[in-house]
Structure 1
Amino acid sequence: MEGLIPLVNRLQDAFAALGQSCLLDLPQIAVVGGQSAGKSSVLENCVSRDFLPRGSGIVTRRPLVLQLITAKTEYAEFLHCKGRKFTDFDEVRQEIEVETDRITGVNKGISSIPINLRIYSPHVLSLTLIDLPGITKVPVGDQPPDIEHQIRDMIMQFISRENCLILAVTPANTDLANSDALKLAKEVDPQGLRTIGVITKLDLMDEGTDAREILENKLLPLRRGYIGVVNRSQKDIDGKKDIKAALLAERKFFLSHPAYRHMADRMGTPYLQKVLNQQLTNHIRDTLPAFRSKLQSQLLSIEHEVEVYKNFRPEDPTRKTKALLQMVQQFSVDFEKRIEGSGDQVDTLELSGGAKINRIFHERFPFELVKMEFNEKELRREISYAIKNIHGIRQVLPCLFTPDMAFEAIVKKQIVKLKGPCLKSVDLVMQELINTVKKCTKKLATYPRLCEETERIVAGYIREREEKTKDQVLLLIDIQVSYINTNHEDFIGFANAQQRSSQVNKSAVGNQVIRKGWLTINNIGIMKGGSKEYWFVLTAESLSWYKDDEEKEKKYMLPLDNLKVRDVEKSFMSSKHIFALFNTEQRNVYKDYRFLELACDSQEEVDSWKASLLRAGVYPDKSSTENDENGQADNFSMDPQLERQVETIRNLVDSYMSIINKCIRDLIPKTIMHLMINNVKEFINAELLAHLYSSEDQNTLMEESAEQAQRRDEMLRMYQALKEALAIIGDISTSTVSTPAPPPVDDSWLQQARRSPPPSPSTQRRPTLNNPPTRPLSGRGPAPAIPSPGPQSGAPPVPFRPGPLPPFPSGGEALGGPPQVPSRPTRAPPSVPR
């Protein structure tokens, strides 16, 4: 088990070099405390060297990851200066200052980017500690006003990890209940499983007071107790007092002080080192299985991708050919899946690919056809002019039949108008095919030139097919114009021309439900304090809306007679898309409202509802500004015979155009599907590869992007690092029974301190006795700082353990018999001066 801490140090360095340290929760000890609480002095005592920057105000401005390793020779290494050994610890201090200023600047700025320092020495026990900036309240220099929150967030970033032990440093000459370090530790470790208290500056307490009850864990107890240390004073530091001499003075202080003499073996920096080593070793052992599982899960998550990268052979002459074939095949499969609707990546945000083309065929195209519905007055005027022009100078006799030439002339003119919607649908499908190609080429981004060439070749072919498809569409329209088939089975004929075909169609449809869905009534909500959403049901005869989609509570039913639909300009205050229904006879549509504004979330929904309303016979409004022409048509007088002929031809045109529309709606999607979509799929399957070979050299096409090469190298390095880490961890036996954590203590004082701080502990400290206390005859001394609760008193009693008082306890019974750790040769304790 002695190799656990060096193991973690190796893992930290390996992953820090890869920039992955933030992703792994490695076991470590974070030193937390207020500004000038003595954190840096504790660390220097642990190393037995002066190596940390000192000064007034905030000195530690970047986290310092300090890795202590027991070795025969003494030197230091920085991760950012790998390979350079520092034997002069003044140079170590200077390097820390330079590296800090390089990131944070020279005027008291802070950064969360850590400095990694490894110290080899025969005077240390293997430990990994993190020195964090001291908690401060007031900004100095160029520090921002929220410096307190920044430092707090940085500290929380480290101590909130479950694998981090917290060393809460508090000066003995301040109120312990107001300790910032203990408050932060309590927030992230409410059970106290990871918190160890350290009391510094015991030699600076007021005369006549001591911290015995705190160190015995009776006053403001912690689950893992407290350890007292005595650091060098500022005078000692200025006088260059040796740390080894300071440790001897610390030992002498505890042995000679009457309040601490009985627990001197459990006080001081050497004991703190050993406790931290034992705690960290146990902590690593306990967390290692979970850490191994995390590494294994990360390894599995990248294994498939790495397998592809491992087979990458840049020097293989067949590699580029294989890759080109695979990319083209993958592109072909993706394109076909997106068109057919069985893709592995389904878009959940909008319609795309085959679904959007289907919407163009069955919603947008029929809507465009009906949107060009002829103006009634315009059509009647054209029919009347056609009849008169056919007769020429001859007088129209009332007994003659209606001229069929006028019917053909009007019908052909209306059929020619269908070219616009048909060509527009071809353009829409072409654009959607190009968008689909762009989405499919994203998977070719590994090879930028291949991606560009594939998109260029396929888009060019799509535009070629677009021209041929348009020629075929125009041919279909010309075919319809070339012969007017009045013998069609669905044509009403001249005998039934007096009956309106629209009424026949509506009676055949009946009350069929055309569409259901949610719509917002926009203009009614404005009067009543907000728009309201209802469930709408559209049939061939009416538009009804309900409170919800259960259709139990009907709010209103609106007949569709004389209704038309028009667009409403979108308001800058609303994200909704709006259309309106109104009555052509200037009547109120709903209660006192002349029109009904309905809102949808997208323009696609608006177009879909318009198409459904067209199926129900509600046509879009065609605003006309030709008032003079209309007035002229209205003033044009027709005799009764001419009016009858106009009405007859009007009904014939309506009947025949419904046949043409039905035919065009059926043929145009089939034409587009055959000449465009299917041809493009065949081209990609059969000819794309040949075009790519002929367009550019294969080596040029298959050049990797710089981003892909970098990603492959990083992924392979990460894979190797994970495998190496698992191999190292796999050699460590973790079957040792873990020491259970100490029992919980009453730490409600930490929460009470936030609301009303208790009296200062200094007022409750025992006065120093003139005579040292007499030891029990059994030779037993008080136990370490870890309590075990008892029923006799509110505070847990101090347990006793047998045995003499060695300067460095060898068993660590208070910590549950941890594994053996490397230690220095046994030295005789200094004699106590009399």
Structure 2
Amino acid sequence: MSGNQGMEQLIPIVNRLQDAFATLGVSLALDLPQIAVVGSQSAGKSSVLENFVGRDFLPRGSGIVTRRPLVLQLINANVEYAEFLHQKGKKFTDFNMVRKEIEEETDRVTGANKGISSVPINLRVYSPHVLNLTLVDLPGMTKVPVGDQPADIEIQIRGMLMEFITNENCLILAVSPANTDLANSDALKIAKEVDPQGTRTIGVITKLDLMDDGTDARDILENRLLPLRRGYVGVVNRSQRDIEGHKDIKQALGAERKFFLSHPSYRHMADRMGTPFLQRKLNEQLTNHIRDTLPALRNKLQTQLLSMEKDVEEFKNYRPDDPTRKTKAMMQMITQFGADFEKNIEGSGSEISTMELSGGAKINRIFHERFPFELVKMEFDEKELRREITYAIKNIHGIRTGLFTPDMAFETIVKKQIQKCKEPCLKCVDLVVAQLTQVVHNCTQKMSRYPRLREDTERIVNTRIRECEQKTKDQLVLMVDIQLAYMNTNHEDFIGFANAQQKTETSNRKKIGNQVIRKGWLAIHNVSLLKGGSREFWFVLTTEAVIWFKDEEEKEKKYMLPLDNLKIRDLEAGFMSRRHMFALFNPEQRNVYKDYKQLELSAETQDDMDSWKASFLRAGVYPERKSEDDKNSKDEVTSSMDPQLERQVETIRNLVDSYMKIVSKTTRDLTPKTVMHLIVNQIQSFLEAELLAHLYSSSDQGSLMEESAEESLRREEL
């Protein structure tokens, strides 16, 4: 292949690959380069595709019309006809029959209740009027279910769109109508989620002829507003009246050309507008895109081929009923499972994932980020603590007026605080157990060939995990009870009564100094130019302030927000948003940032948000407390304060703070050690020494090593 001829063959090659994979009905995990068409319902997607072909062939109507992905392969040829992959060899020359077949094939898979399916329909259109081009038409985004559609139809459609457009090899054709607010275009929003830099998105603006008088889309078509690297193309489709009146598409293309040539805002760019230009642009973009991705695609295909050839070689002399083979295979599977589990937890081995955290890394994160966060979260609220101390002192004195600070008030308050440690410790165990269960499930994937073996292995290991879980929880509860049994006020780190009277929270905070706690990217939702949008900044959190910069070089400072009197709260993210939101605010309703009562922030993942919240807690920014008691009794406590009582409250408060730091430090240290000793290490020992014996005693080897029906079929096909 050389020159232009070679370039022209690129799209047909990918077409053949698409058809081959669809026919096989198996996924070869290949991300084929393609163009996916996204847009809201009634954005004009169908009209754009029909204009390419020059024929009416797509289903029309109200509600969701496209309910399965349509892989539309346009092929330049002398004769005009269409052909479906599921009816190979049958040529459709009547395009009304093409529409009917799409509707019937959709209903065959989804039913007639307007449901959706991600199983594609492959359609080839041969015509002298088209350029070689392949597009995947996806269902239009909607918010309201119609007919018998499930209530979560919006989530289902979004999930299907994400399946296609998250593929880095997929170009996104984002279709948006010009007669709506383009800044809130569903197509551009979802494209930006997966392609934030706009490097693989092509914008199409429809319905330019339906804009209000005195308005135009010149700024966006010239790529000045919401810029995309591949730019925008404007088109004018037939109106509903034109379609009902059977207006010829050729006439419509002529009217479109006339519109751009005569419109004062668009005539200077008329050669870069319209359906014919869009088709040429897409042909060129897809061809270049395939050329750029072809080397990686070839390597991936060769890897898959080698893997399949290895499987074929293995199956040549395969005897499924050979007991020796079954014993050997079972031993290998269990040994491999144990090795994979250890690698996942310990982080050893040559294959280190760069895509996600391993099970061991996630458990480490639970120990050192999530657990401390839960522990700090349960710590006292300042006003609530002072109120409790006041009540304790008053109740201990009773009818008498006390001259000295009572020890019993300190012990009562400390015990109440220590008791709160149980919940975070038990939650830490729950999180680790959930992660271990997931690791076990992931490590048994290689056993999927033998479903009974996989099922029994998971059942036996998970049963042992649950046994260890209960022992660990009992041990951690005992650890807290031991702390409650005796208040060691002679501990070397305890402040003591003499120092407690001089120490205050302010002086304590100043001793810490302005240390950096965390750095990283966060999005601010109060500063976006677009309503509902956001901008990312580089954040630096210290013990005294949170500062954000333009980027990680930290040269261009945008703002510095002192942490004094700030609180933190969770926020509900937008329905279409994949980010996790929280806010900083002042409980006294003062402005925090510019004219805003709160600074709205978001992180990309739940783990990132939890980590940031834990960091803010370390900096002294606590979650908001929704306590009715606080509102009802705040005035009563404050008004009853006298200087003597206030000094006693401050003394007890400093003693409690000092002692709880010792308890918290011990708990943070011993809880991970206890979990590791009684769960993680126990499970690793169990896999090495006992799992095989449990499997042999649970059922006979023959039934354990029965192949799945899918595996038998795959072996026969290979």
1:326 to 332, 338, 354: 332
**What is residue 453 of structure 1 aligned with on the other side?**
456
State which structure, 1 or 2, has the greater radius of gyration over its C-alpha atoms. 1
| Residues 390, 449 of structure 1: alpha-carbon distance in 2 compared, 3 angstrom cutoff | same
Q: 2: distance between equivalents of 1:707 and 1:619? A: 53
The answer to whether the aligner puts 1:335 opposite 2:309 as a matched pair is no
Q: 2: distance between equivalents of 1:505 and 1:702? A: 65
1:437-516 paired onto structure 2 within 5 Å: 437-500=440-503, 502-516=505-519
1:298-697 paired onto structure 2 within 5 Å: 300-342=306-348, 350-393=356-399, 395-398=400-403, 401-500=404-503, 502-525=505-528, 530-626=533-629, 629-631=632-634, 633-634=636-637, 637-697=640-700
Offset at residue 349 of structure 1 (A): 5.4
The answer to whether the aligner puts 1:701 opposite 2:704 as a matched pair is yes
Q: Deviations over 1:669-724 (max 9, x none)?
A: 11001100010111111100000000001111111112212222322xxxxxxxxx
**What is residue 139 of structure 1 aligned with on the other side?**
94
Q: 2: distance between equivalents of 1:296 and 1:410? A: 68
Query: Are the equivalent residues in 2 in contact too, given 1:501–1:654 (CA < 8 A)?
Result: no
Q: 2: distance between equivalents of 1:414 and 1:562? A: 23
Question: Secondary structure of the residue that 1:484 maps to in structure 2?
Answer: coil
| Residues 450, 22 of structure 1: alpha-carbon distance in 2 compared, 3 angstrom cutoff | closer
Offset at residue 392 of structure 1 (A): 4.2
Deviates more, 1:627-636 or 1:587-596: 627-636
Offset at residue 467 of structure 1 (A): 0.2
Offset at residue 636 of structure 1 (A): 5.8
Question: Secondary structure of the residue that 1:588 maps to in structure 2?
Answer: coil
Query: Are the equivalent residues in 2 in contact too, given 1:520–1:532 (CA < 8 A)?
Result: yes
Q: Deviations over 1:453-509 (max 9, x none)?
A: 001000011000000000000011011111111111221111111244644553343
Tell me the amino acid that sits aligned with residue 396 of structure 1: T
Tell me the amino acid that sits aligned with residue 444 of structure 1: M
Q: 2: distance between equivalents of 1:109 and 1:539? A: 65
Query: Are the equivalent residues in 2 in contact too, given 1:566–1:580 (CA < 8 A)?
Result: yes
Q: Deviations over 1:718-741 (max 9, x none)?
A: xxxxxxxxxxxxxxxxxxxxxxxx
Tell me the amino acid that sits aligned with residue 517 of structure 2: I
| Residues 309, 648 of structure 1: alpha-carbon distance in 2 compared, 3 angstrom cutoff | same
**What is residue 714 of structure 2 aligned with on the other side?**
711
| Residues 306, 139 of structure 1: alpha-carbon distance in 2 compared, 3 angstrom cutoff | closer
**What is residue 827 of structure 1 aligned with on the other side?**
none
Offset at residue 571 of structure 1 (A): 2.5
Tell me the amino acid that sits aligned with residue 591 of structure 2: N
Q: Deviations over 1:773-802 (max 9, x none)?
A: xxxxxxxxxxxxxxxxxxxxxxxxxxxxxx
Offset at residue 533 of structure 1 (A): 1.6
Query: Are the equivalent residues in 2 in contact too, given 1:109–1:142 (CA < 8 A)?
Result: no
Query: Are the equivalent residues in 2 in contact too, given 1:377–1:630 (CA < 8 A)?
Result: no
**What is residue 126 of structure 2 aligned with on the other side?**
152
Q: 2: distance between equivalents of 1:303 and 1:150? A: 31
Q: 2: distance between equivalents of 1:367 and 1:322? A: 47
Q: 1: distance between equivalents of 2:495 and 2:462? A: 46
Question: Secondary structure of the residue that 2:329 maps to in structure 1?
Answer: helix
1:237-248 paired onto structure 2 within 5 Å: none
Tell me the amino acid that sits aligned with residue 338 of structure 1: N
| Residues 345, 391 of structure 1: alpha-carbon distance in 2 compared, 3 angstrom cutoff | same
Q: 2: distance between equivalents of 1:352 and 1:676? A: 17
| Residues 370, 315 of structure 1: alpha-carbon distance in 2 compared, 3 angstrom cutoff | closer
Question: Secondary structure of the residue that 2:706 maps to in structure 1?
Answer: coil
| Residues 435, 404 of structure 1: alpha-carbon distance in 2 compared, 3 angstrom cutoff | same
Q: 2: distance between equivalents of 1:597 and 1:502? A: 28
Query: Are the equivalent residues in 2 in contact too, given 1:447–1:704 (CA < 8 A)?
Result: yes
Question: Secondary structure of the residue that 2:539 maps to in structure 1?
Answer: strand
Query: Are the equivalent residues in 2 in contact too, given 1:517–1:537 (CA < 8 A)?
Result: yes
Query: Are the equivalent residues in 1 in contact too, given 2:583–2:600 (CA < 8 A)?
Result: yes
Q: 2: distance between equivalents of 1:20 and 1:534? A: 42
Tell me the amino acid that sits aligned with residue 483 of structure 2: Q
| Residues 523, 615 of structure 1: alpha-carbon distance in 2 compared, 3 angstrom cutoff | same
Tell me the amino acid that sits aligned with residue 335 of structure 1: F
Q: Deviations over 1:143-176 (max 9, x none)?
A: 65899x846289x999x9xxxxxxxxxxxxxxxx
Q: Which structure features the higher share of helix residues? A: 2
1:646-795 paired onto structure 2 within 5 Å: 646-715=649-718
Q: Deviations over 1:526-549 (max 9, x none)?
A: 688842221111111111111111
Question: Secondary structure of the residue that 1:575 maps to in structure 2?
Answer: coil
Deviates more, 1:532-541 or 1:450-459: 532-541
Query: Are the equivalent residues in 2 in contact too, given 1:513–1:538 (CA < 8 A)?
Result: yes
Question: Secondary structure of the residue that 2:601 maps to in structure 1?
Answer: strand
Query: Are the equivalent residues in 1 in contact too, given 2:347–2:358 (CA < 8 A)?
Result: no
1:164-243 paired onto structure 2 within 5 Å: none
Question: Secondary structure of the residue that 1:152 maps to in structure 2?
Answer: strand
Q: 1: distance between equivalents of 2:591 and 2:95? A: 73
Question: Secondary structure of the residue that 2:569 maps to in structure 1?
Answer: strand
Give unmatched runs, 5+ long, in structure 2: 1-19, 25-80, 103-122, 135-300
Q: 2: distance between equivalents of 1:670 and 1:552? A: 42
Q: 2: distance between equivalents of 1:475 and 1:109? A: 74
Q: 1: distance between equivalents of 2:304 and 2:343? A: 32
Offset at residue 603 of structure 1 (A): 2.4
The number of aligned residues is: 456
**What is residue 236 of structure 2 aligned with on the other side?**
none
Question: Secondary structure of the residue that 1:489 maps to in structure 2?
Answer: coil
Question: Secondary structure of the residue that 1:523 maps to in structure 2?
Answer: coil
Question: Secondary structure of the residue that 2:599 maps to in structure 1?
Answer: strand
| Residues 405, 627 of structure 1: alpha-carbon distance in 2 compared, 3 angstrom cutoff | closer
Tell me the amino acid that sits aligned with residue 484 of structure 2: V
Question: Secondary structure of the residue that 1:485 maps to in structure 2?
Answer: coil
Question: Secondary structure of the residue that 1:626 maps to in structure 2?
Answer: helix
Q: 2: distance between equivalents of 1:705 and 1:593? A: 60
Q: 2: distance between equivalents of 1:417 and 1:559? A: 30
Q: Deviations over 1:314-366 (max 9, x none)?
A: 35332211111111101101111111224666665554511211111111111
Tell me the amino acid that sits aligned with residue 619 of structure 2: A
Q: TM-score, normalised by structure 2?
A: 0.58
